[in-house]
C-alpha cells in the first residue's frame, strides 16, 4: 500500500485480452458499467545506456518492433521443424535474427540485444533456459487489457452469493488431499486436511495452488499423483518476477518521461566503456519502469484524481528478481536510486523516499511467479498435469496457470 493509502495493484485486478476473454461478459453482467475500465498500455521509451538521451517514440518503437518481429520469425521457424525440438532455446534462435535485423534496418546491435530482454521479463524466464517450442505454443488472448475497478470482489460476490462466501475459510493451510474414496467407490467425498484446523469433507475439490507449491511437495495426495503428472510438475519451470514500488518526494517534479513507460538498457560493454556506471547500474540487460497513474479507478466513477506521490513501478525478473529478494526494502530502494542516477544524471534528486517490493519466490504460498517450459522439457508437459481434463478421480480438479496452454507463459 502506498503512503497515500491506495493499494498497489499486483495484477489481480487486470483482465487480459478483452476480445476473446470469457471473463468480460461475466464481469459486465455482475458489475455496473463504471466498474470496467479499459487500460491503454503506455508507450515505452528506451534509455539505451547510462547518461545517454532517451530515445524518441519512433526510435524506441523501431527497436521493440524488431524484437517482436524476430520472435515471430523464431516461432515460425519452430513451426517449420518436422518435430518439436525441446532442446532448442529461445536465445539460440533469436540472437542471430536480432543480428540480421540490426544490419538490415541500421539498428544499434547492442541496444537491440538488450531490448530483447523484454521477452524474458514477459515470460519470467531466461531466454537461454526457455524452450522455443514452449513459447510458440502459447495462445495469446487478443485485445487490450481491462481494469476491473475494485478488483474481482464484486464479481465474486454476485456469482457466488453471500451464502456461499460465508463458508469460505481463510488462513487454512492445506496439507493433504485424499481422494481415494472416489477411486475405490467406497465413498463420494474428498478429504482435505489442514495444518491447524482439522479435516474437511467435500463433494469436490479444485486445486488452485501455484506450480511452485506443487513442486515443493508440501501438499500430499492420497493416492499419489500419477507418474505422468509428477513428471510434468518436475519438468515445468517456475519463474521469478517481482514489482518494486518507488515513491518519491511529492514536492519534486518527476524526473522521468511523463506519460510513458521507459526501459533502461545495460550494454554488454558497460564495464569497459563506463566502469563507474557499471558499478551502480543493476545487473540486468533491461528493466521496465512504469509510472503509477495520476488517476485511479474506483467502483463509484470511471476515474478520480489521485493524491499519490510521484511513484514508479519497476518490473524485475529472473536473476535480478532473485538477487533483490535477498535485500531489504531500504536496500532495494538505495540500489534503484544509484541505478536511476546513472540514467538521469541531470535530475536534482532520484532517491526514493520509500520503497517496497513483492517477494514471490520467498512467499511460501507462491514459491515463484508464472510457469514456463524449460529447455529439455516437453512442450506438452502442462497437458500431463491436466490429463483427463485435469481431473483426479471424478470430482477433484487442478486449476492454475500451468495447467492450460493459453496461460502457461507469463499468465
- For residues 134 and 283, membership in a common domain is answered with yes
Residue 3 has pLDDT above 90, yes or no: no
Residue 388 has what pLDDT?
40
- For residues 277 and 206, membership in a common domain is answered with no
Last residue of a domain, one of 341, 357, 373: 357
Average pLDDT value for residue range 200-219: 92
Residue 327 has pLDDT above 80, yes or no: yes
Question: Does 336 map to a domain?
Answer: yes
Q: Residue 91: which pLDDT band, with cuts at 50, 70 and 90?
A: very high
Q: Residue 17: which pLDDT band, with cuts at 50, 70 and 90?
A: confident
Residue 240 has what pLDDT?
96
DSSP assigned state of 377: S
Q: What angle do CA 289, 292, 295 make, to 5 degrees?
A: 150
DSSP assigned state of 332: H
Closest C-alpha to 237, from 358, 12, 74, 409 = 409
Question: Does 156 map to a domain?
Answer: no
Average pLDDT value for residue range 93-109: 97
Residue 387 has what pLDDT?
47
**In contact, 191 and 177? CB cutoff 8 Å:** yes
**In contact, 213 and 365? CB cutoff 8 Å:** yes
Cα–Cα distances in Å, from 201 out to 176, 187, 193, 208, 383? 12, 11, 9, 18, 28
Question: Does 267 map to a domain?
Answer: yes
Helix (H, G, I), strand (E, B) or coil at 145: strand
Q: Are strands 261-265 and 44-47 parallel, antiparallel or unpaired?
A: parallel
Residue 1 has pLDDT above 60, yes or no: yes
- For residues 192 and 228, membership in a common domain is answered with yes
32 φψ region: left (φ > 0), alpha (ψ -120 to 50), beta (else):
beta
Q: Residue 394: which pLDDT band, with cuts at 50, 70 and 90?
A: low
- For residues 177 and 216, membership in a common domain is answered with yes
- For residues 22 and 94, membership in a common domain is answered with yes
Residue 59 has what pLDDT?
98
* CATH number for the domain that contains residue 369: 3.50.50.60
User: Is the pTM for the entire model greater than 0.85?
Assistant: yes
- For residues 324 and 352, membership in a common domain is answered with yes
Q: Residue 15: which pLDDT band, with cuts at 50, 70 and 90?
A: confident
pLDDT 10s digits, 269-278: 999 999 999 9
Q: Residue 143: which pLDDT band, with cuts at 50, 70 and 90?
A: confident
More confident residue, 305 or 114: 114
- For residues 88 and 223, membership in a common domain is answered with no
Q: Residue 231: which pLDDT band, with cuts at 50, 70 and 90?
A: confident
pLDDT 10s digits, 330-369: 999 999 999 999 999 999 999 999 999 999 999 999 999 9
More confident residue, 226 or 45: 45
Average pLDDT value for residue range 180-189: 76
- For residues 208 and 300, membership in a common domain is answered with no
Residue 266 has pLDDT above 90, yes or no: yes
CA–CA dist 166, 58 (Å, integer) = 53
Last residue of a domain, one of 357, 374, 397: 357
Q: Residue 160: which pLDDT band, with cuts at 50, 70 and 90?
A: confident
Residue 300 has pLDDT above 50, yes or no: no
Question: How many domains does one find in the chain?
Answer: 2
- For residues 232 and 381, membership in a common domain is answered with yes
Question: Does 80 map to a domain?
Answer: yes
Residue 411 has what pLDDT?
33
pLDDT winner (highest mean) among 29-38, 103-112, 205-214: 103-112
Question: Does 157 map to a domain?
Answer: no
pLDDT 10s digits, 56-72: 999 999 999 999 999 99
Kindly report which listed range (42-46, 137-141, 188-192) carries the lowest average pLDDT score: 137-141
Residue 137 has what pLDDT?
55
Under 8 Å CB-to-CB from 411, ≥6 apart: which residues?
Answer: 16, 370, 401
DSSP assigned state of 55: P
- For residues 257 and 349, membership in a common domain is answered with yes
Question: Does 8 map to a domain?
Answer: no
CA–CA dist 373, 80 (Å, integer) = 19
Closest C-alpha to 45, from 290, 377, 408, 250 = 290
Question: Does 84 map to a domain?
Answer: yes
| 200: its cell numbers | 474437511
CA–CA dist 239, 361 (Å, integer) = 9
Over the chain, what is the mean pLDDT?
85
Domain, as residue range, for 180: 169-237+365-407
DSSP assigned state of 20: S
Residue 398 has what pLDDT?
80
- For residues 23 and 132, membership in a common domain is answered with yes
Which residue stretches of 166-244 are H helix? 180-184, 211-216, 227-235
Residue 403 has what pLDDT?
59
140-169: b (≥16 Cβ within 10 Å) or e: ebeeeebbbbebbebbeeeeeeeeeeeeee
Average pLDDT value for residue range 183-188: 72
Residue 163 has pLDDT above 90, yes or no: no
CA–CA dist 120, 129 (Å, integer) = 10
Question: Does 296 map to a domain?
Answer: yes
372: which strand partners? 237
Amino acid at each position: 500500500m502506498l503512503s497515500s493509502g491506495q493499494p498497489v495493484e499486483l495484477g489481480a485486478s487486470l483482465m487480459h485480452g478483452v476480445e476473446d476473454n470469457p471473463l468480460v461478459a461475466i464481469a459486465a453482467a455482475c458489475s455496473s458499467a463504471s466498474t470496467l475500465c479499459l487500460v491503454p498500455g503506455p508507450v515505452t521509451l528506451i534509455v539505451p545506456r547510462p547518461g545517454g538521451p532517451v530515445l524518441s517514440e519512433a526510435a524506441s518503437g523501431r527497436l521493440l518492433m524488431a524484437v517482436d518481429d524476430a520472435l515471430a520469425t523464431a516461432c515460425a521457424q519452430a513451426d517449420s521443424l518436422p518435430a518439436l525440438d525441446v532442446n532448442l532455446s529461445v536465445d539460440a534462435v533469436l540472437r542471430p535474427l536480432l543480428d540480421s535485423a540490426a544490419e538490415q534496418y541500421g539498428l544499434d546491435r547492442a541496444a537491440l540485444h538488450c531490448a530483447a530482454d523484454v521477452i524474458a521479463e514477459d515470460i519470467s524466464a531466461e531466454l537461454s533456459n526457455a524452450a522455443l517450442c514452449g513459447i510458440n505454443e502459447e495462445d495469446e488472448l487478443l485485445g487490450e487489457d481491462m481494469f476491473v475497478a475494485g478488483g474481482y470482489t464484486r464479481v465474486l460476490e454476485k456469482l457466488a452469493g453471500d451464502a456461499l462466501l460465508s463458508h469460505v475459510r481463510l488462513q487454512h493451510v492445506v496439507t493433504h488431499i485424499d481422494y481415494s474414496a472416489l477411486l475405490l467407490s467406497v465413498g463420494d467425498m474428498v478429504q482435505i486436511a489442514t495444518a491447524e484446523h482439522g479435516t474437511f469433507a467435500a463433494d469436490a475439490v479444485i486445486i488452485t495452488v501455484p506450480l511452485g507449491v506443487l513442486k515443493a511437495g508440501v501438499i500430499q495426495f492420497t493416492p499419489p499423483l500419477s507418474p505422468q503428472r509428477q513428471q510434468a510438475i518436475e519438468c515445468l519451470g517456475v519463474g521469478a518476477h517481482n514489482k518494486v514500488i518507488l515513491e518519491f518526494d511529492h514536492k519534486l517534479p518527476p524526473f522521468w518521461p511523463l506519460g510513458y513507460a521507459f526501459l533502461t538498457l545495460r550494454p554488454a560493454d558497460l564495464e569497459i566503456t563506463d566502469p563507474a556506471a557499471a558499478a551502480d547500474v543493476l545487473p540486468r540487460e533491461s528493466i521496465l519502469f512504469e509510472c503509477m497513474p495520476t488517476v485511479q479507478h474506483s467502483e463509484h466513477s470511471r476515474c478520480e484524481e489521485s493524491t499519490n506521490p510521484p511513484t514508479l513501478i519497476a518490473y524485475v525478473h529472473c536473476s535480478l528478481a532473485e538477487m533483490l529478494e535477498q535485500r531489504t526494502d531500504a536496500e532495494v530502494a538505495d540500489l534503484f536510486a544509484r541505478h536511476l542516477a546513472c540514467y538521469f544524471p541531470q535530475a536534482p534528486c532520484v532517491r526514493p523516499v520509500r520503497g517496497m517490493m513483492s517477494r514471490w519466490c520467498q512467499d511460501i504460498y507462491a514459491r515463484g511467479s508464472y510457469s514456463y517450459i524449460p529447455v529439455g522439457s516437453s512442450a506438452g508437459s502442462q497437458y500431463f498435469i491436466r490429463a483427463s481434463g485435469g481431473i483426479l478421480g471424478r470430482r477433484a480438479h487442478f486449476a492454475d496457470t500451468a495447467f492450460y496452454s493459453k496461460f502457461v507463459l507469463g499468465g
